[in-house]
Structure 1
Amino acid sequence: MPGRPVSDETREQIVAAARAGKTRNAIAREFEVAGGTVTRICTDAGVSFDRSATELAVRARTIDLAEERLLVAQKMLAVASDMLDQLDAPYEVFNFGGKDNTFTSEVLDSAPAEVRRNAVVTAGIAFDKATRVIEKSDHGLEEAVGTLDVLAAGFKAAAEEIRAREAAPVEGEPDEA
């Protein structure tokens, strides 16, 4: 691949493929040339590989994943909170079995110590995991807000430009008073 001359016909095909929207690496594989060769040929022809759509897609996916992590963290915290709330509520203990296969139960004023301990440990683990998710998601959220701010500023600038064009008097037409 390196050092091999590229024919004019192949150069034209490479440029056409780039204009058709193929990626640089896909073109390099198709024509069996180096990625740098594709870039150089396309640059000479005035064609560039625009990665802005890919970058926006990656940012959007990052934002979506951060949101999903936050939703799961909220669910974990809600379940943990619910478990802790139930500890002081009446708690039914039961037994099923024996040689006669009988069922017996009794309602206690609150959960027994072992159940309370398990609930507190489980809630603590859920809280710890949820906190870590939220801490990791902060960066994604800041990036999302930054991206949205940039997009909003672009929309605002475009709208102001359109309004300015519409407000400018057209030559040969009288000004409205």
Structure 2
Amino acid sequence: MRARVAELHAAGMGRNAIASELGLGTSTITRIAKALGLDFSRAQTAVAVAARVRTLKERRADIVARLYARAEANLDRLEAGTFRTLVRGEGGAEHPTTLDFVPPEHDRALVATISTALTAAAKLELQDGDQKADDAKSLLRSLGAALQAVPDGDE
């Protein structure tokens, strides 16, 4: 139990989260942490949370790239000169077939798949876009404050 508390603490989990994870009371977690010399200061938790946010941001960026690749692959398939599909023959057996056109039902399905991938990618990009906007606003505020601090040449 003590090792698990130490492991969860190292992962950046707070006292309440560890207690919930292990089904124990917070006082028990406090006692174990104290015996192990662990601290639940907010600064340590903040560092772990920031690391987790970066990791999730990187994972979202990877997923966005994969969604764009999927959309591109399906668009390439839709726009290719030939279209490979399976055609069901007599007795229900399917046979690979190459057509010189995209059947309407496949066209609709590919367009829907492309649209879904692009929409999902855009939504994921927006999650991290808010931080970029906040960073830009912060930069502009700092520049504005710095410009106000510069004495005017006419004074």
* Normalised TM-score (structure 1): 0.48
5+ long unaligned stretches in structure 1: 1-22, 33-47, 145-177
User: Structure 1 pair 58/140, CA: closer, same or farther in 2 (3 Å)?
Assistant: farther
Whether 1:77 and 2:75 are equivalent positions in the alignment is no
Q: 1:126 to 1:104 in 2, by over 3 A?
A: closer
| 8 Å contact from structure 2 (residues 75, 110) kept in 1 | yes
* Contact kept in structure 1, 2:85 and 2:97, CA below 8 Å: yes
Percent pairwise identity:
28
Structure ranking higher in helix proportion: 2
RMSD over equivalenced CA pairs, Å:
3.6
Check the 8 A contact 1:24/1:49 in 2, yes or no. yes
Aligned match for 1:29, one of 17, 27, 30: 27
Maintained 8 Å contact 1:97/1:103: yes
Selected match of 2:50 from 46, 55, 59: 59
CA contact (8 A) 1:66 1:140 kept: no
Residue 47 of structure 2 aligns to which amino acid in structure 1?
L
Question: Corresponding residue for 1:113?
Answer: 104
Instruction: State how far apart, in whole Å, the 2-side matches of 1:112 and 1:88 are.
Output: 12
Structure 2: stretches of 5+ with no match in the other structure: 1-13, 20-25, 31-38, 136-155
Structure 2: which amino acid aligns with 1:29? S
1:112-164, CA deviations, whole angstroms, 9 ceiling, x for partnerless residues?
Answer: 222111111111011111101110022456789xxxxxxxxxxxxxxxxxxxx
Larger Rg: 1
